[in-house]
Structure 1
Amino acid sequence: MADDNEPTTLREQDQGDVDGETLPELQFVREKLQRFQSHMLQDIEKQVSCLIEDVLQGIRQREVRAHEFRQFEGHHETSDRRQVSSFNTYHNRQQNTSTKLANQSASFSKMDVNDSPKKGTTSTARIKGRLPDKVFVARDSYLTALLEVAHMRTIYHIFYIILVMFLLNVIFHDYFVEGQINFALGTFRGGLRRLHWVMGAWILEHIFVLALYYAFQGWALVRHKLKPQGSLQRFWSHSCLIMYISSQLVFGYVSSSLCLKFQLPFVSACVLLLESTRLLMKMHAFVRYNSQRVLCGKQKVDGVDPNGNENASLSAGRPFIPPLQCYVYFLFAPTLIYRDSYPRTSHIRWKFALNRLLEVVAVAFLYAFIHERHIEEHFGKFGLEPMGAPQLIVKLFGMMLPSAVIFLCGFYLILHSWLNFTSELLRFGDRMFYKDWWTSHNYDGYYRNWNVVVHDWLYEYVYKDVYTYVFKGSKLAASLLVFLISALVHEQVLGFALQMFFPVMFILFFVVGVALVFLMRSAPKILGNIFLWFSLILGNGMLISLYAMEYYAKKNCDLKYDSWRDHLVPAIWRCYN
């Protein structure tokens, strides 16, 4: 019995020794597992709480958009629902209706019975390379709709108070330092000198623009009569095309040379140059849109034009030329895209128009105050005082915030106040002169939404034609040409208005701006928007500062211009070297 029990006792003793050795290890593993479990539970709880918070925040944002921002509800809807969403109010382009049905019927006839359109495929127009067309819809401007919300209206009131405080600052400074209050009238008198010459040139330009209508009508009628003689008809059309291009070049040259001949100050020169550029774009829009009608052979037959409008006095077989009143209305309408008719409002809201006009006057005074208290203060003695790197950096950063105010108020002055004022007087219904560019996270969105009026013209009459007929489907080449033309026009306006060759605008627009378009395309939304605003404030500060330094350097330094090379060297460099 003793022998039988001995192995069992030994096995129990050995097992006890093993348990004694492994017990601490098991305890250690158990503690690690419990700690890991607690961490996992905490992480899961945190993630679940974050998900719940995101869902609740999304519900709250949707509720705010539904109740406060009704005009912008549906902004994030999918493309399949855009036709029924209110975001369609601010949708800018779509395929032409007349070609859309034909393309759809042709595409459906080529499809097999078992074929079905796949999700995510593009429209027939885009498959065939056809770009969408501009559409006009009766709608308010973005800020007009936003300012109906009490929260946004409060921000608007804050800017009102800032303007009043700025005005009081200038009044007290003039009274206690200068001894008199002039309300920056000296700036207005200096900037608007020789304005009567500008008005005279403006009247002559409009006479030329009206003459273009009758010249275009003559081309269309003669071309129609020469239809049996094909070679003579082509010769006539090519000759008229050469004369048209030459007249446009002469028109732009004369307006630019008048700034030099009359020695116009900056504001008067800007008025003349911008108005001349606007009329050039208007003339090209009218000719480009209606020449396509004439070339396609659209005619007035039996008193009905191609659009179905009755006009009994029209003779059969004549090429379609829109009535003169359509052309005259287009010349003053706040759009650069020609159509025979536009959406119109039922009446003029005189209170709304008066408020917009007062905003124009207020921003003009604000600009005068900034010029006297900041630009002249920082750069008025440039070229007469010692200038090193520390002084230059202080001046540049001292102009950053005033330049940001100039940039934002310039947008509000032209694209919101002035265009809404003219729209109200003309009962022009489509007020989408800009979109929500301030929310852009890359320069693609910024350039598309910043100035919709000019962007539409560049898209319709430059980008689409170049994409279709010149570069044959190359969007990159067409986009670069659009940037080049836009940069040259901006530089031409600034250069002739300031009467200097100083291509900073061209470099910042065409070189830096184009580079940022490609660099920021994949940027995260939050960081992209922050960098966009940082670059806009920094770029505008440098732009205004450099042009101000060049202007006052030419004014203060006694520089000699013995050859054409002297005009190419910046006065900033020649003053201090």
Structure 2
Amino acid sequence: MKLFSYAHVNYCCRHLLLARENKCDDKLLAEEDIQDDCVKEELPEKEEENVNENICNNENKEITEDESPQDNNTVTNPISKDNKLSPFILKISEEHLKLYPQNLTIKNLYYFIMAPTLCYELDYPVIPKRRWSLILNHLIEFISLVYVMIALHKYSNPILAKMEKQNQFLTLIQLCIPTAVIYLIGFYIYFHAYLNLLGEIMKFSDREFYGPVWNSDSILDYWRNWNKRFTQWCKRHLYIPLIKLGWTKFWAQEVVFVLSDLFHAYAYYFAFKKILFGGMLAQPLFGRLLERIIGRGRCGNFLFWFYIIFTHAGASIFLYEHLNNKLS
């Protein structure tokens, strides 16, 4: 995903510069043709020439006054709309475009690969110096919470071992809280402790790694906020090009959700095979159906937490049964 973003942005910079050069060349050729035509014509008298100059100056003033001001910070797409590549050309600011092609270095590429972001930029916001107190704080959080997760896993293993002797529903109830806490701790370790630690070491100032997932009032809202970096990547490289191609917002969102589920369900497929893989792909349809029936607000937030608590416990039981049957 990072390499795709890197190639896409540099591809857009290259085409914007080439299109601008071609446009400037066309203007120069047109001006030369006009000058040649003027030389061939006979010069008018001085009085008529002065009158014409005054008229031209007045017309130019009126034109400049009527023209709407343009934003100098953003480079518009100079490629014609008939070009098939036009929907895939991103808007790039004038300041960033000046950095191309000097940004094509090994150092710049490896900084982007290590940086806590998925969207490539020609110039990243950085902090002036590293704050070692924050680095130590996030490092302590990371190490201590990893040990807490290990302890919770050891607490869950005896419950799973007794699953064959007792009812599965009772096992599900006993596993709800520890598995939900393990999931939330894992979320905090990666998206808060680790990514902030990495961002502080690399002086990366953009720290919006996740949104307020705890306030999500639907499953779809949760998927939008739980990984902001992935959401930004999908919006920039998938959603906006599809909208420019003429797709409706509904179908563009559905394509983004399906592709997002494919990325995440690919990892689940090896552990849970076809059942959870199909469940992940059905989440966009299931989420929209629940929004129509229950709606948003407190009921939606209650349903979201019910989903977080019980689905992870059920997934743990299913994984245990799958591994037990595979080994036996």
Give the partner amino acid of 1:358. I
- 1:177-197 deviations in Å (ceiling 9; x for gaps): xxxxxxxxxxxxxxxxxxxxx
Whether 1:528 aligns to 2:300 is yes
Whether 1:292 aligns to 2:74 is no
Distance in structure 2 (CA, Å) of the matches to 1:352 and 1:529: 32
Distance in structure 2 (CA, Å) of the matches to 1:503 and 1:513: 17
Whether 1:372 aligns to 2:154 is yes
Distance in structure 1 (CA, Å) of the matches to 2:108 and 2:248: 35
What percent of counterpart residues are identical? 26
- 2:179 paired residue number: 403
- 2:112 paired residue number: 330
- 2:230 paired residue number: 454
Query: In 2 relative to 1, CA 323–512 (structure 1 residues): closer, same or farther, beyond 3 Å?
Result: closer
Give the C-alpha shift of residue 334 in structure 1: 0.4
Aligned partners of 2:265 and 2:280 also within 8 Å: no
Distance in structure 1 (CA, Å) of the matches to 2:263 and 2:228: 17
TM value normalised by structure 1 = 0.41
Which of 274, 279, 288 is the aligned partner of 1:503?
274
Say what the alpha-carbon RMSD is for the aligned residues: 2.7
Aligned partners of 2:176 and 2:310 also within 8 Å: yes
- Higher Cα Rg, which structure: 1
Distance in structure 1 (CA, Å) of the matches to 2:145 and 2:326: 28
Query: In 2 relative to 1, CA 331–299 (structure 1 residues): closer, same or farther, beyond 3 Å?
Result: farther
| Higher RCO structure, 1 or 2 (CA under 8 Å, sep 6+) | 2
Distance in structure 1 (CA, Å) of the matches to 2:102 and 2:19: 9
Give the C-alpha shift of residue 413 in structure 1: 0.7
- 1:266 paired residue number: none
- 1:488-544 deviations in Å (ceiling 9; x for gaps): 222222334x4xx62343233221453123422672412221221112212222223
Query: In 2 relative to 1, CA 353–308 (structure 1 residues): closer, same or farther, beyond 3 Å?
Result: closer
Distance in structure 2 (CA, Å) of the matches to 1:353 and 1:467: 41
Query: In 2 relative to 1, CA 399–457 (structure 1 residues): closer, same or farther, beyond 3 Å?
Result: same
- 1:329-375 deviations in Å (ceiling 9; x for gaps): 1111101011011111111111211111121112221222222220x
Which of 247, 253, 256 is the aligned partner of 1:482?
256
1:327-366 equivalences under 5 Å are 327-366=109-148
- 2:208 paired residue number: 432
Structure 2 residues without counterparts, runs of 5 or longer: 22-92
Query: In 2 relative to 1, CA 442–456 (structure 1 residues): closer, same or farther, beyond 3 Å?
Result: same
- 2:247 paired residue number: 473
Query: In 2 relative to 1, CA 506–328 (structure 1 residues): closer, same or farther, beyond 3 Å?
Result: same
1:92-241 equivalences under 5 Å are none
Distance in structure 2 (CA, Å) of the matches to 1:308 and 1:512: 38
- 1:232-255 deviations in Å (ceiling 9; x for gaps): xxxxxxxxxxxxxxxxxxxxxxxx
Give the partner amino acid of 2:325. A
- 1:282 paired residue number: 2
Give the partner amino acid of 1:426. M
The 3-state SS of whatever aligns with 1:346 is coil
- 1:210-244 deviations in Å (ceiling 9; x for gaps): xxxxxxxxxxxxxxxxxxxxxxxxxxxxxxxxxxx
Query: In 2 relative to 1, CA 326–490 (structure 1 residues): closer, same or farther, beyond 3 Å?
Result: same
Whether 1:307 aligns to 2:89 is no
Aligned partners of 2:2 and 2:118 also within 8 Å: yes
Structure 1 residues without counterparts, runs of 5 or longer: 1-280, 312-318, 558-577
Which of 390, 410, 423 is the aligned partner of 2:199?
423
Query: In 2 relative to 1, CA 310–490 (structure 1 residues): closer, same or farther, beyond 3 Å?
Result: closer
The 3-state SS of whatever aligns with 2:119 is coil
- Comparing 523-532 and 507-516, the one that deviates more: 507-516
Query: In 2 relative to 1, CA 420–526 (structure 1 residues): closer, same or farther, beyond 3 Å?
Result: same
- 1:514 paired residue number: 285
Count matched residues: 255
TM value normalised by structure 2 = 0.70
Give the partner amino acid of 1:285. S
